[in-house]
């Protein structure tokens, strides 16, 4: 009987906080497997947790969509990006507070995960954070532009989105990708402490208010997603 492969998205509970750890042993690319396991972990968190903490592996949070799939053909690319968009929207409207411990590089869809979380802690170091698609010749999909418009500082929006600017962790706080940066050995503890504090936010007060705040973006992205995917394909 063959052993099961280790999960790319592990799930554990720390009291009332669900901890989702992304670790594919490489760049933490958003693959079909990672997206499926991410959704399964969110299913579990929705039924058992009062807050969610998403964290990466040392030095790598996420490099974005799996390039091997993105380069495999139009159908494969569309399926991956569309499922990734739905995952991002799910996190953005998740009924519990969602926090992120950005352990290192966060590029492209990896940076979008930061933008859809409610509170984001980063780690000091020579890491790259940003939507770098335009700088490598890829147009940003509408869902990415609208999420960025919601969360990034207006002073940085043009440079970050249409010019593909990449930021250091300290710069990413000013831009709006992160809320705070701490030392690497403090990141997990600081993120858990904040997650436990946010777990006390009343429900359904928190979930109703969060959805009201984000409804215009969520509704617009969902209304344009099919056309957006047609354009990408």
How large is the average pLDDT for residues 129-146?
94
User: Is residue 219 domain-resident?
Assistant: yes
pLDDT of 36: 97
pLDDT score recorded for residue 203: 83
**pLDDT for res 231:** 81
* 3 assigned to some structural domain: no
Half-sphere exposure for 129 (CA within 13 Å, toward CB): 32
Residue 29, domain member (yes or no): yes
pLDDT number for residue 107 = 97
* Mean pLDDT for the stretch of residues 29-54: 97
Mean pLDDT (the chain, rounded): 94
Q: Which domain holds residue 81?
A: 9-232
Neighbours of 230 (CB within 10 A): 9
Provide the whole-model pTM: 0.95
Summarize the confidence of residues 170-185 as an average pLDDT.
Answer: 98
- Tell me what the mean pLDDT of segment 52-70 comes to: 95
pLDDT the model gives residue 1 = 36
pLDDT at 98: 98
Query: Is residue 156 domain-resident?
Result: yes
Say if 41 falls within a structural domain.
yes
The answer to whether residue 223 sits within a structural domain is yes
Residue 2 — very low, low, confident or very high, per pLDDT cuts 50/70/90?
very low
CATH of residue 205:
3.90.226.10
SS3 55: strand
Tally of CB atoms within 10 A around 98 = 27
* Total number of domains in the chain: 1
């Amino acid at each position: 009987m063959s052993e099961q492969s280790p999960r790319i998205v592990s799930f554990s509970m720390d009291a009332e906080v669900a901890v989702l750890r992304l670790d594919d042993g490489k760049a933490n690319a958003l693959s079909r497997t990672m997206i499926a396991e991410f959704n399964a972990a969110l299913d579990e968190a929705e039924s058992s947790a009062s807050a969610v903490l998403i964290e990466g592996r040392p030095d790598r949070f996420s490099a974005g969509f799996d390039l091997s799939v993105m380069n495999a053909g139009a159908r494969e690319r569309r399926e991956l990006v569309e499922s990734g968009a739905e995952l991002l929207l799910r996190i953005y409207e998740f009924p519990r507070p969602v926090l992120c411990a950005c352990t290192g590089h966060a590029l492209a869809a990896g940076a979008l995960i930061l933008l859809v979380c409610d509170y984001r802690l980063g780690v000091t170091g020579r890491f790259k954070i940003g939507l770098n698609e335009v700088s490598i010749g890829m147009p940003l999909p509408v869902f990415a532009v609208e999420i960025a418009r919601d969360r990034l500082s207006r002073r940085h929006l043009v440079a970050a989105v249409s010019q593909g600017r990449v930021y250091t962790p300290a710069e990413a706080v000013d831009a709006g990708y992160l809320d705070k940066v701490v030392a690497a050995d403090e990141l997990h503890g600081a993120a858990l402490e904040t997650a436990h504090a946010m777990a006390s936010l009343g429900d359904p007060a928190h979930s109703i208010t969060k959805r009201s705040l984000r409804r215009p973006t969520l509704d617009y992205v969902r209304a344009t997603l099919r056309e957006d995917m047609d354009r990408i394909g």
